[in-house]
Amino acid sequence: MTQTKEWDTQDLKLLRSRAIRWYRRKARELPWRQTSDPYRIWVSEIMLQQTQVATVIPFFHRFLTSFPTVSALAAADEQDVLFHWSGLGYYRRARQLHAAAKLIDSQWHGLFPRSFESIQSLPGVGRYTAGAIASFAFDDRRPIVEANT
């Protein structure tokens, strides 16, 4: 029988300090870590689904050059969005990104929603992605566990 361990406050503090220390030593410099812009964080999180970091970086820069804001993405033709996504695969992500941008543009007047629940309601956004955006863009502490290395 497997025994489970209760985590006390000291255990959690130790785990947290070790995780932060590890991050400070091992963190890679990535373009989406240099911003608190929810749009840029969102685009990176969607691109990083099922795709390696090294592959995403050039696509991230090109995509944001063509669609620098949520409103610019919302106004774009879907075929143009798919063209700029070409090479990343999983085109459903691009279609959902485009649909969500249109929703943000119409429902929130082009301003990225701030609440976790509103972010998670966007097409193609699940608990992990909503948590990442809420945490990194709005300093709303949410648990997120990354497994795509």
Catalogue the active-site residues. 45
Report DSSP letters for the chain, one per residue.
-PPP----HHHHHHHHHHHHHHHHHH----GGGG---HHHHHHHHHHTTTS-HHHHHHHHHHHHHH--SHHHHHHS-HHHHHHHHTTS--HHHHHHHHHHHHHHHHHSTTPPP-SHHHHHTSTT--HHHHHHHHHHHH-----------
